[in-house]
Amino acid sequence: MSELQDLTAAVEKGNRKEATRLTQVLLDAGMPPLDIVESGLVPAMSNVGEKFKKNEVFVPEMLIAARAMKEAMAMIQPLLTAAGIKPKYTAVIGTVQGDLHDIGKNLVAMMLKGANFNVIDVGVNVAPEKFLAAAKENNAHLVGLSALLTTTMPAMKTTVDAFREAGVQTKIMIGGAPITQQFANEIGADGYSPDAASAVDLAQTLVA
Amino acid sequence: MERPYYLNLAASGLRMPIGTHLVLHQHENPEAILLNGRQLGAVVEEAAIQFKAPMAVPVMDLKLEKEALLSARGIPAADIESYHFAEAPETGWKIATTPRMSATCEAIRHIAQNTSLLPVGIGIGPFSLMTKLISDPITPVFLAGPGSTADEDSEVRLVESTLALGLSAILTYLQAQIAAGAKAIILCEPAANKVYFSPNQLAESYEIFDRYVMEPNRKIKALLDQNGVDLIFHDCGELEDEMIRRFATLDPAMMSLGSSRKLWEDAALVPDTTVLFGNLPTKKFYSDALVTVDDVKRLSDELTCRMQATGHPFILGSECDVLSVPGAQETIKAKVEAFLA
């Protein structure tokens, strides 16, 4: 269906009006909502992620694409909910205690939503116990920790420790400008991602 | 100061970090010191002496202007760090310096009156402050690029009003630091980078970058010029070459860039009257797995050698404020000492 391809293209370009118009066209044509998500919206954000990895698009383009997808999803979500259809995986994501930076965290959250994860964004400056509570409450398959500052990196270890001491074995991935795979290994995190697009690949690997 | 002051420092082979945060955290109760101008002045002086630097630089804390702005708005202190404007605020507020700002000014006054060090002030740039005042600054900046105006788009209006409001808070703080005796100002504009401005969009036009970054910074530069105060421009973000060319039009005495830049290539983008400063990867100094002491020595030698080859005035230094990381203070300090040696 060409409208589906057009929807993918509209989301990729961040064209909100066109994305919502085409979503309505597809719904009116009787396409199942989940098919619109999986065959129209998810591929769009996947394409954007691939282009981001290759430096063909940048953060602003990712954000406006995610915004277009969000508006399309706002039309579809009530239908999915009414049909009892939920995303297969849930991720809790936030910036660790002491750190107020949210761009990286927001990008990963958007990309995970774009890959049809249920994302619980617990915000910035998040204490370990809040991450733990959110993960338990939502039966999270994955927890994402973000930090921009070298001074707040130790809070990642504190958070990982809190999960392990509580006996919660939810997969934990970390990221942020000063973070490395080495650091992830040192603190016992399950994975590290250098950018938001790669974070989706990592998340899918960790929950598989 | 006269421009030859900086050029002579560069010619002398000076090496120095921006390292007051590191020294501050060698003391007990650093948070209390930040509120005590006399003690803070002593720490700023101590940092300069410890690192054999002729400039006395306060802690690079880029949250102070937001605190001053939102305190004037009556936002409770506990909510300030996470507060974002949801709609365009009116302008014309009376913004007062906060206790932290007053302590920094007192520290500058101590340096100016009691030492032979160059008293340096510090502040956030207007664009970077704006990014802290709204929850999503990136999207409206991008949308303003192709021509969305404040009249048409409420998010663009939010960007432009918070930019104007932030500039007034910045000017208030800079005027206070200048009155305290600052002879140079480090203006930190780390958000003016490729995260906030798409290179794809900039390839078509720099109009939005000029409007949101350069124009407000020119107003600050005018204030400094009126008072005979030098500009030290700092941006450790990921940059395009053209961004650096534009920053250079502010005629800074020094330009401090992040470690992602090759300064020996940037030398061609900046006039010979602007000293390039940096740009060792000090953000990685906390980890021996990322950078060893030997790496620091090798990088220092390589950078010094390459910059000598360009003939551009250069001071070897940190890429940003060298932050004290809990548990890694000695590791960081050893690497700072390695590049100063």
CATH number of B119's domain: 3.20.20.210
Using the beta-carbon criterion (under 8 Å), do A182 and B324 form an inter-chain contact? no
CA distances from B279 to B45, B261, B287 (A): 23, 8, 17
Tens digit of pLDDT at every position of chain B (341 positions): 789 999 999 999 999 999 999 999 999 999 999 999 999 999 999 999 999 999 999 999 999 999 999 999 999 999 998 899 999 988 778 899 999 999 999 999 999 999 999 999 999 999 999 999 998 899 999 988 877 788 888 889 999 999 999 999 999 999 999 999 999 999 999 999 999 999 999 999 999 999 999 999 999 999 999 999 999 999 999 999 999 999 999 999 999 999 999 999 999 999 999 999 999 999 989 889 889 999 999 999 999 999 999 999 999 999 998 888 888 899 999 999 999 98
CB–CB contact A59 B327 (8 Å): no
Give the residue numbers in A contacting B (CB under 8 Å), as ranges: 57-61, 63-64, 67, 100, 103, 106, 123-125, 149-151, 153-154, 177-178, 180, 182-183
Cα distances from A76 to residues A28, A106, B103, in angstroms, run 12, 22, 54
Domains of chain A from N-terminus onward? 2-82 (1.10.1240.10), 90-207 (3.40.50.280)
Q: Is B179 on the interface with A (CB under 8 A)?
A: no
For residue B287, the model assigns a pLDDT of 87
Phi first, then psi: give them for residue B335, nearest 5 degrees.
-75, -35
- Cβ-based neighbours of B163, under 8 Å, separated by 6 or more: B126, B127, B130, B212, B216
Element (H, E) at A31: none
Domain span holding position B26 = 3-340
DSSP B25: T
- Reported as a pLDDT band with limits 50, 70 and 90, residue A1 is low
Which residues in chain B have their CB less than 8 angstroms from residue A103's CB?
138, 195
Integer Cα distance of B330 and B334 in angstroms: 6
Residues of A in contact with B192 (CB under 8 A): none
Total domains in chain B come to 1
As a whole number of angstroms, the distance between CA A119 and CA A92 comes to: 6
- Amino acid identity of residue B225, one-letter, is D
pLDDT tens digits along B202-222: 999 999 999 999 999 999 999
Looking at the complex, does the CB of residue B5 fall below 8 Å from at least one CB of chain A? no
Q: Report the candidate in B189, B212, B91, B214 with the shortest Cα–Cα distance to residue B143.
A: B212
Strand partners, B122: B186
Mean pLDDT of chain B: 95
Do you know the residue count of chain B? 341
Question: H/E/C letters for each residue in B134-177?
Answer: CCCCHHHHHHHCCCCCCCCCHHHHHHHHHHHHHHHHHHHHHHHH
Q: How many CB pairs under 8 A join A and B?
A: 67
Assess whether pLDDT exceeds 80 at residue A71. Answer: yes
CA dihedral sign of residues A159, A160, A161, A165: positive
Contact flag A64-B142 (C-beta cutoff 8 Å): yes
Question: Do the chains contact at A124 and B198, CB–CB below 8 Å?
Answer: no
**A4-24 burial code (b ≥16 CB/10 A, e <16):** bebbbbbbbbbbbebbbbbbe
Phi, psi dihedrals of residue A100, rounded to the nearest 5°: -105, 5
Q: Which residues of A touch B195 (CB under 8 A)?
A: 58-59, 103
Nearest-CB residue to B326 (from A59, A154, A178): A154
- Sign, Cα dihedral of A45, A51, A52, A54: positive
Alpha-helical segments (H) within chain B: 3-11, 20-24, 30-33, 37-50, 64-73, 77-80, 99-114, 126-133, 138-144, 154-180, 199-204, 207-209, 215-226, 241-248, 263-266, 293-310, 329-340
